[in-house]
Amino acid sequence: MSVHRSAPEGLSSAALAAQAHDVPARDGGLSRLCHLRAPGTSVVLELPSDGLPVVLHWGPGLGELTGDDLEAMFRGVQPHTANSRIYTQTSVSVLPQHSTGWLGRPGLAGSRSGRAWSVQLDQVRHEVSPSGTDGNDRDGAPAVGGGQPVEVRSVAIDEASQLEVVTELQLHPSGVVRLRASVRNLGDPYVVTALEPALPVPPEADELLDMAGRHTLERMPQRRPFAVGAWVRESRGGRPGHDSGTLLCAGRPGFAFRSGRVWGVHLAYSGNQVLYAERTFNGWRLLRAGELLMPGEVVLEHGESYTTPWLTASWGEGLDALSHRFHHLLRSRPQHPRHPRPVLLNTWEAVYFDHDLQRLYELADRAAAVGVERFVLDDGWFRGRRGEHAGLGDWYVDEDVYPDGLHPLVERVRSLGMEFGLWFEPEMVNLDSDLAREHPEWLFDAGHGPGMPSRNQHELDLGQPEAYAYVLERVSALVEEYRIDYVKWDHNRPLIDAGHQPHGEPGLHRHTEALYRMLAELRRRHPALEIESCCGGGGRIDMGILEHTDRVWASDCNDPHDRQTIQRWTSLLLPPEVVGAHIGPPVSHTTARAHGLTYRAGTAMWGHLGIEWDITEASPTELQELAAWVRLHREHRDLLHTGTVVRADLPEPALRVEGVVDEDRQRALYAVTAVDRPLTWPPGRVPLPGLDPERRYHVRPQPPGDDHPGVGYPGKPPWMTHGVILPGRVLDEVGIEAPPLHPDQLVLIRVEGVGEPPG
């Protein structure tokens, strides 16, 4: 075994360390204990000579431990063994196996024509080292985490079953753990049914949190006790889905944003998947995830292997701390967007399918005048696309609508100083299209024809090499011809009956891998191109798609009332700069609710800002106010898109406090929002979390987000008139009086440090 050692003393914000120590194993042999450290986080593993890694601790940093400390810890956590190790289960690996006495869901399930269905490992080799060289993972992908993560790679052989099983566990400088597994076939064809790595959580993790939802109402949180049995969240539509669990968390009962220890896992994958929380009768609590494989979808010939997506895991003293680690991980990727995120205007809710060139010119003129930096032409620009019934798949500019192509519009947009973006939905097809008529064999078909329509769409199989080549050529050619800066890549329906022609075998795994390859190739051909992942809104939001895109669209709902919750829980996983948030029209397209501009713009501030509104119909006053909001966002986007996201825990559910604090804790921006009517009046004080407790801050309302306080009520808190200077500790522990707000109103608060920072 090779061990990478770096100085454990004085770990910096990007330092990692690993130490190893041999101890007597349970069976009389030797095991190796391995302590992986990142700032604030420790992972302690047992590496047995006859098994895959066993997690003894994952969570708070344990400091520097000697070999004697590790050995004593190992002895101290061993459970009492009664008359059967099966009933006691003294250890469970990151890939639990039936042959070890595990009576829960096996980590690897499969067979070779009914044989080799129970894996028992004969030889295991563990390596502890940085993952790859030059900052790259072993599979060639860029290393995540701002440097080389420490990795434990374990290779095991089951000679009787003729299988090789590999697990890779990485600890990144962010404190995030990534875990994946692979199986290689050394014999006759082997069918993989499931491969699902797992991480244990301690007994204090007695409550579960994940998310549910639907189209235009994604990522609604839900909680339940972590009881004996299993809580399973499956996605079977070829994408995580609008009802995706997104994160599966377990923590101390009542854990909140600022308190309560909590652990959470996310699967970095964009196809079918399963999240799984399992508690057994003998006390084990596991969080696990993997690709949900269709029957016969992965059949390994001799020498072939299958590797799972990364199970990505974080922990924290409260959900904010868990979230900060995920944000740090994503922001430290080499490809993470670092230039200012351009404010954009998307044409969908302005013109829908009515692509009149003069109207688009006027829209572009108005957009530039209010400070928009990127103009995105949405659905309706290609052949035959005058509605949702035809044209999908025919990726040629419609000559009837644009007789000179898109060149006149693109030139107008660029002359106004804006970038140009274009909408595509390359994975979908209308039956009323040249593509479907000429190449029906490119559509998914499980033996029943093209299957059930949804939104008048059917499914194109990118696993068909000819279909893949066609889509790649058309998208790339248009990007090249029009020097497109930005592609909005949509995916408006679940994939069902997704059979790969001509025989109809399941094709979703192949399709998802082809999607990743295509996005990577587009970025290789067009290095400056930015890509947004849209999926009927928020149906494909995961770290897998973000390896190949620059932004996700959180929801097709622009109603700020619903967006308050959608964005809050999307940001638990993703930092604001990669989450699209748009100012919609005065009356919402999806809910018919009416809201003033302050609430619409003040809600959209907390992401990658856009406008999705026919501003050619806006009044001069509305345009002036909209321009002020765009200026405010551009003034503060360096803070909003690099700072630490914080959320207050309030006893009054009608109120919310969210904000962003810069890295030096010198300045911050908060929003106090009323999403309903408070039960008591006045609602009382609200804290401003995340500031330096020893530093003094000037607190005052931030225009233009200061124009609603007092509406319908006499007066407002004195601090809103004169400002107030208080230490960060007081602002967090005591707080300030909440502004008087009606439902669906908010106030922005600007906070700036006064004088030199302490120390």
CATH of the domain at 97: 2.70.98.60
Query: Using one digit for the tens of pLDDT, what is the confidence trace for 462-498?
Result: 999 999 999 999 999 999 999 999 999 999 999 999 9
Helix boundaries (H) for 77-169: 85-88
Are 357 and 275 found together in one domain?
no
CA angle 289, 426, 141 (to 5 degrees): 45
Domain-embedded: residue 717: yes
Domain-embedded: residue 517: yes
**Mean pLDDT along residues 510-521:** 98
Distance of CA 75 to the CA centre of its chain: 38
- Which of 288, 176, 277, 165 lies closest to 227 in space, CA to CA? 277
Distances in Å between the alpha carbon of 598 and those of 189, 625, 683, 745?
A: 62, 9, 21, 8
- Which of 350, 397, 395, 339 lies closest to 375 in space, CA to CA? 350
d(CA 607, CA 658): 12
Can you give 208-264 as a three-state secondary structure string?
Answer: EEEEEEECCEEEEEEEEECCCEEEEEEECCCCCCCCCCCCEEEECCCCCCCCCEEEE
Q: Which domain holds residue 723?
A: 645-753
Active-site option among 485, 556, 706, 744: 556
Domain-embedded: residue 55: no
Query: Using one digit for the tens of pLDDT, what is the confidence trace for 290-316?
Result: 999 999 999 999 999 999 999 999 999
Torsion of CA 67, 70, 76, 79, to 10 degrees: -120
Are 111 and 240 found together in one domain?
yes
pLDDT at 145: 35
Are 348 and 222 found together in one domain?
no
- Which of 62, 66, 30 lies closest to 44 in space, CA to CA? 62
pLDDT at 25: 67
pLDDT at 710: 52
**Mean pLDDT along residues 644-661:** 97
- Domain boundary at 282, 308, 331, which? 331
The answer, yes or no, to whether residue 30 has pLDDT greater than 90, is no
% of the chain surpassing 70 pLDDT: 93
The answer, yes or no, to whether residue 713 has pLDDT greater than 70, is no
Q: Higher-confidence residue: 14 or 108?
A: 108
Q: Extract the tokens encoding 83.
A: 């008359």
- Domain boundary at 305, 331, 357, which? 331
pLDDT at 19: 76
Are 237 and 184 found together in one domain?
yes
pLDDT at 82: 66
The answer, yes or no, to whether residue 142 has pLDDT greater than 60, is no
Domain count, the chain: 3
The answer, yes or no, to whether residue 759 has pLDDT greater than 70, is no
- Residue 756, Cβ density class (10 Å: 0-12 exposed, 13-18 middle, ≥19 buried): exposed
Instruction: Look up 692 and say whether it is catalytic.
Output: no
Distance of CA 481 to the CA centre of its chain: 32
pLDDT at 147: 59
d(CA 473, CA 491): 19
CA angle 718, 724, 725 (to 5 degrees): 165
Determine if residue 598 is left, alpha or beta; phi over 0 gives left, psi from -120 to 50 gives alpha, anything else beta.
alpha
Are 634 and 651 found together in one domain?
no
Give the model's confidence band at 646: pLDDT under 50 very low, under 70 low, under 90 confident, else very high: very high
pLDDT at 10: 33
Max intra-chain CA distance, the chain: 82
Helix boundaries (H) for 336-491: 348-351, 357-369, 407-415, 434-438, 465-482
Instruction: Look up 490 and say whether it is catalytic.
Output: yes
Q: Extract the tokens encoding 244.
A: 């995706």
Are 632 and 655 found together in one domain?
no
Are 636 and 666 found together in one domain?
no
Q: Extract the tokens encoding 747.
A: 């106030």
Q: What DSSP assignment string belongs to 287-327?
A: EEEEE-PPTTSEEEPTT-EEEPPPEEEEEEESHHHHHHHHH
Domain-embedded: residue 10: no
Determine if residue 609 is left, alpha or beta; phi over 0 gives left, psi from -120 to 50 gives alpha, anything else beta.
beta
Domain-embedded: residue 120: yes
pLDDT at 421: 98
Beta bridge partners of 293: none
The answer, yes or no, to whether residue 4 has pLDDT greater than 80, is no
Q: Extract the tokens encoding 227.
A: 């009881």
Are 231 and 375 found together in one domain?
no
For residue 554, the domain's CATH number is 3.20.20.70
- Tokens 């894996």 belong to 119
Reported as type and span, the H/E element at residue 47 is: strand 41-48
Are 424 and 540 found together in one domain?
yes
Q: What is the rounded average pLDDT for all residues in the chain?
A: 92
Is the separation of the CB atoms in 37 and 6 below 8 Å? no
The answer, yes or no, to whether residue 219 has pLDDT greater than 90, is yes
Rounded to the nearest 10 degrees, the angle between the axes of helix 620-640 and helix 597-604 is: 20
Q: Extract the tokens encoding 638.
A: 């360096």
- Which of 310, 308, 3 lies closest to 126 in space, CA to CA? 3
What residue type is assigned to position 474 of the chain? Answer: R
Strands, sheet with 30-38, edge to edge from the N-terminal-most edge strand: 17-24, 30-38, 41-48, 54-60
- Which of 720, 671, 723, 666 lies closest to 692 in space, CA to CA? 666
Distances in Å between the alpha carbon of 610 and those of 450, 577, 712?
A: 36, 12, 31
* Cα torsion 110, 114, 119, 122: sign: negative
pLDDT at 7: 29
Is the separation of the CB atoms in 460 and 443 below 8 Å? yes
Determine the length of the chain.
759
d(CA 307, CA 290): 10
Are 271 and 311 found together in one domain?
yes
pLDDT at 5: 28
Work out whether strand 374-377 and strand 344-346 pair parallel, antiparallel, or are unpaired: parallel
Spell out a b/e string for 710-733, using b for 16 or more CB atoms within 10 Å of the CB, else e.
eeeeeebbebbeeebebbbebbbe
d(CA 70, CA 176): 22
Query: Using one digit for the tens of pLDDT, what is the confidence trace for 40-75?
Result: 999 999 999 889 999 999 999 999 999 999 999 999
Domain-embedded: residue 607: yes
Are 747 and 599 found together in one domain?
no
Give the model's confidence band at 130: pLDDT under 50 very low, under 70 low, under 90 confident, else very high: confident
For residue 703, the domain's CATH number is 2.60.40.1180
Active-site option among 461, 490, 562, 662: 490
Domain-embedded: residue 380: yes
- Domain boundary at 304, 331, 358, which? 331
Q: Cβ neighbours of residue 721 under 8 Å, at least 6 residues apart?
A: none
Are 624 and 507 found together in one domain?
yes
pLDDT at 220: 98
The answer, yes or no, to whether residue 655 has pLDDT greater than 80, is yes
Work out whether strand 551-553 and strand 530-533 pair parallel, antiparallel, or are unpaired: parallel
Domain-embedded: residue 388: yes
Q: Cβ neighbours of residue 390 under 8 Å, at least 6 residues apart?
A: 384, 430, 432, 433
